[in-house]
Amino acid sequence: MESLIQTGKGSMKPDSGELLIASKRVLDKNGMRCYLPGRYTLPLRFDITLKANSSDFAMQIGKGGVHFSAPINHSGGGIRRTDIATGKEEPSKHEYGCDVPLGEYTGISAVYGNEITWVEINGRVCYATRAAPYQKLPEAFTGGFSLAIGCGRDVELTVRSITVTEYENLDTPAEIAGLPEFSAFEWYLKSLPPDCRDEVVKMDDYLLKDLKNGLKCKRSADKYGNVGYVSPCGFQFKMRKYGTGGQENEHDAGQIETSWNQDPEKPDRTSEMFSALAEESPEFAGRMFSKTKGCNNAKCKANSVITYKGESKRTCGSAIKFTWLPSEFEDIRKVAAAAEEIITKEKKAKT
């Protein structure tokens, strides 16, 4: 580690086999960094064991890397990711549950493969994606990248070890140090904060198992963080990547919605569903009606009009919008149960 090259204002001192790093300025493009000598070719694994007094440091690879930020509300620390080839910040600025324990030695790993990017903290995966921009650039796998560790103002790092492993080929998750391959849905779960993850797992069981007689939903998930449940009858439940909504409240981040794929030749199931909900609780039905997604674009193909208690509303796909608050998932289950009841009655009427 003594061969590292320092740039920016700060200090880098060896001490009993470890490296003490401290910075005197913010971690911007001119901030304190300690570069490993030479360049490293993808695919690679970048491992660091360190102790930090603050979560404001980064593992830099090429033009980007992973910046570990200060704790965010109750969900712990986050990471800000910048693409290593283009230098562009990835859309979702933070991943939750990526907190680095302060004041104790922590193992951090960043893996950059042909088809996957993976970050671990003490052996626990806190972020993974198959959609990083560099993965689509052939030149990213030929020229090599510089590697460095940097930290922000008043941050002190005690680095115990730094290891870089270059691979000839690293196409699938199974090849990453023996780690298992996960489905797109499991990737999605790993990106969620714990409270939301538990609710999504509960919702998954509810839609696929408890409501299997009427709705018969099938789940789909893609590498961009979109998860959907679609019933043959047209009922849909969709969740977009957590953290893409742009709202300041973390539980509002992203998009969750239920909707009906309306067929003009069939009954208005959305209005029927609100009537069914009102029989159980008028207050709840009114609250759900107020959460429907309005649409003022007359040319929108998803444009539909729903009616509740004599009030009509032009909506976008009759979608009901929800947030990530745990209490909202219970509301979603009530809506799904009402949809299940409608379809079950229709089936019985036909027999």
Give the pLDDT confidence of 286-318 residue by residue, as tens digits.
999 888 877 777 677 667 778 788 888 888 777
Residues 64 and 149 in one domain: yes
pLDDT band at 181 (very low <50, low <70, confident <90, very high): low
Residue 302 is predicted with a pLDDT of 64
Residues 123 and 205 in one domain: no
Residue 7 is predicted with a pLDDT of 92
**Is the Cβ–Cβ distance between 59 and 108 less than 8 Å?**
yes
Residue 317 is predicted with a pLDDT of 72
With a cut of 50, say whether residue 100 has pLDDT above it: yes
With a cut of 50, say whether residue 138 has pLDDT above it: yes
Residue 319 is predicted with a pLDDT of 86
Helix axes 282-290, 269-280, angle to 10 degrees: 140
Residue 241 is predicted with a pLDDT of 63
Domain boundary among 181, 210, 226: 181
Residues 213 and 153 in one domain: no
Domain boundary among 136, 158, 181: 181
What percent of the chain shows pLDDT beyond 90? 36
Residue 223 is predicted with a pLDDT of 60
Residue 248 is predicted with a pLDDT of 41
Residue 260 is predicted with a pLDDT of 83
Domain boundary among 146, 164, 181: 181
For the residues 322-328, what does the mean pLDDT come to? 87
Q: Which of 40-49, 68-77, 100-109, 315-324 has the lowest mean pLDDT?
A: 68-77
pLDDT digits (tens, 9 = 90+) for 238-255: 987 655 444 444 444 457
Number of domains in the chain: 2
For the residues 260-284, what does the mean pLDDT come to? 80
Decide which of 351 and 330 is more confident. 330
With a cut of 90, say whether residue 194 has pLDDT above it: no
Residues 252 and 326 in one domain: yes
**Is the Cβ–Cβ distance between 120 and 126 less than 8 Å?**
yes
Rg (alpha carbons) of the chain, rounded to whole number: 25
**How is residue 312 annotated by DSSP?**
E
Measured CA distances, 38 to 61, 144, 313 (Å): 12, 9, 63
Residues 237 and 129 in one domain: no
Residues 125 and 228 in one domain: no
For the residues 63-80, what does the mean pLDDT come to? 65
231: containing domain: 187-350
Residue 170 is predicted with a pLDDT of 61
Residues 294 and 165 in one domain: no
Here the CATH number for the domain that contains residue 164 is 2.60.120.200
pLDDT band at 171 (very low <50, low <70, confident <90, very high): low
116 contacts: CB under 8 Å, gap ≥ 6? 128, 129, 130, 135, 170, 172, 173, 176
Tokens at residue 143, please?
């020229």
Decide which of 76 and 296 is more confident. 296
Which of 117-121, 225-229, 230-234, 334-338 has maximum average pLDDT? 334-338
For 207, phi then psi, to 5°, come to -70, -40
Mean of all residue pLDDT scores within the chain: 81
Residues 220 and 157 in one domain: no
With a cut of 90, say whether residue 186 has pLDDT above it: no
Residues 29 and 152 in one domain: yes
**Is the Cβ–Cβ distance between 130 and 223 less than 8 Å?**
yes
For the residues 253-273, what does the mean pLDDT come to? 73
pLDDT digits (tens, 9 = 90+) for 16-44: 999 999 998 888 888 899 999 999 999 89
Q: Of 163, 148, 122, 165, whose CA–CA distance to 21 is shortest?
A: 148
Residues 173 and 28 in one domain: yes
Residues 210 and 154 in one domain: no
Q: Which of 29-38, 58-67, 149-158, 242-251 has the lowest mean pLDDT?
A: 242-251
The order of strands in the sheet holding 117-121 is 10-15, 18-23, 156-166, 44-52, 106-112, 117-121, 124-129
Residues 284 and 319 in one domain: yes
Residue 176 is predicted with a pLDDT of 46
With a cut of 80, say whether residue 96 has pLDDT above it: no
pLDDT band at 338 (very low <50, low <70, confident <90, very high): very high
**Is the Cβ–Cβ distance between 336 and 214 less than 8 Å?**
no
Decide which of 96 and 12 is more confident. 12
Residue 4 is predicted with a pLDDT of 93
Residue 94 is predicted with a pLDDT of 39
